[in-house]
Every structure is written in structure tokens, then in C-alpha cells.
Amino acid sequence: MPRKLILDVDTGTDDAVALMLAALHPDLELVAATTVNGNVPVDYCTENSLRVFDHIGIPVPVYEGVAKPIERDDFPIPRGDIQSSNAVHGGYLDIPPSRSTKQATAAVDFLIETYRAATEPIVLVPVGPMSNVATALLAEPKLKDLIPEIVIMGGANRYGNVTPRAEFNVWADPEAAQIVFDAALDVTMIGLDVTHKAVTGPDVQRRLREAGSIGVFVAELIDFFTVYHRQTYGWEGAPIHDAVAVAHLLRPGLVETKLRNVEVERVSELCRGRTVVDLWLRTERPPNAHVGVDLDGEAFFALLVDRIGRLG
């Protein structure tokens, strides 16, 4: 039986690849996508998610979520800065406008209702800020007993991508992230230490373009994403962050993890949003997450190209 999952997304570029991989793979059943303010404003995220599903011809319901962090009015830097709609992820994806429409139910209500009614396990995969998930946990405390597993794309142990020490998804709503880590859930954290080992390059781009029309679409998304990473890191490619979280469900062992304690810094001016991972067991804090520490990058790209190619 396919594993059921819900993707909670802030759809710009790499979220789109994660949505396609989850929707296309026969071993997964994508129940729905919920959207959240993040890489781009939430209404963009919703439209982009609908565009992706229309583009690949697979109907998946999309539920729009919260438009700001749970305790702040918005991110503490202007949206025109490095994580804006245009700088890294683009605004609307360069594919035709959606023909389908979002669902009437709000994402948080959908999550609560779905897990209350579920008779089979549904994995929750947040690959954007965790504002929807935290809001749902606060509204329905029993939810922590109903969600069987959460796989997060977010956080970092060694370095950040929006500040020197913070990864964007956690930095954008650190209070929400801490609620998720505190909820006694089965959490796996796929952070930058792992996803920066899933960096494309000319060979992967060529293989995607040779895989057919959808592969060309993915390669073009990566071309846009690469501009920022070339300027920032000097890479001739870009990390496909969010798809790694989906691939983790498909291939046990693809991501190596260690069960460790993770706390989120929410006060420091320098390190707000940093995930402090007790990797070397320096404290007696109880473990609360399976933290990704390594990735078989070659196997990840083989999986991605194969699945994209089957549709293309």
C-alpha cells in the first residue's frame, strides 16, 4: 500500500519538485498540499501549488494556510531582501495559471479534521515554516497523538542560509518550530547539513532535460535557483532541499540520522532561528528528533530523475 502523506509547502522552486515527486511516485499517496507564508507570500504559494498539479495532470487538493508567523507580524527583514519573491524562488512559477482552485477549508482546520478522522497513518511533511503545524497543535493538543510521523525540511547544525547560523524555514517562525520539537512527536529533521549534499550540477541538469518535458521544466526551475547559489556559494547547481524530505520516505537509509535533542534559539539577536543540535551529547536534554547527518546524493538524484522521466 502506498504511504499517505500531506505536504505543507511554501511553494517556490524546490517545493515544486517535492510536490511532483510525491504526486508521481506509486509508493506514495499525496493526500493534499497545505500552503504557508514562506519563500513567497501564502497566496503565491497556493497558486504555485495549483499550477504544479495542473501542469503534471494530477489533481491534488490544495488548502491555503496562515499568512504570517504565529507570534510576529511578518519576517523581521523586508520581503524585498534575500528571501523575497524575486531573489531566490521567483514569484509565480513560469507555467500556465491554474485551472483548478483552492479548497474552501483553511489549512489548519483541514489538518485537524483529517487527523481526527484518519483510519490509516498519514505522514506530515512540512517543508516551509511550521506556522500551520504549530497553529494546529495549539488549537488541538490531541493532534500530537494522532500524527504518526513528521518529516521536516528545515534547520541546520553547522551553518545557515538566511543568517550565519539559521536556516530559513525555522528562522521564519522559530516559535512555531519549537512547538513542533516540544510536542513529543516522531520528528525527523532534514536540514541543510543533508540537503546541501543534494546539489545539482551540469550532469544532473542534462539528465533531467533528457528525461522529457517535465524534466525540462524541473531543470528550468533549477536554472533559476542556481543563480542565487552561484552568487552565494560559487556552485554550478542548486540544492533540491524539499524533495529530500520526500525521498527519505521512499528510500530508508538514503538519509542517515541520529536521535538527538534539538532546541530552537528564539531570543538571540545573532542566532535567532538556529536549531541547536546536541550532536555530540554534551547535555542531558532528552532526544526529540532524528537529525539528518548525511545523504547518499547519487542515489537521491537517480530516484528523482527516474520518477520525473517516467512522467515526461
Q: Which residues are catalytic?
A: 10
The Cα 261–Cα 124 span in angstroms is 20
Grid coordinates representing 269? Answer: 539577536
8 Å CB contact between 152 and 188:
yes
Burial letters for 77-108: b for 16+ Cβ neighbours within 10 Å, e otherwise? eeeeeebbbeebbbeebebeebeeebbebbbb
- Say how far apart CA 13 and CA 220 lie, in whole Å: 10
Collapsing DSSP to helix, strand or coil, 151 comes out as: strand
Type of residue found at 307: R
What is the bridge-based pairing of β-strands 28-35 and 62-64? parallel
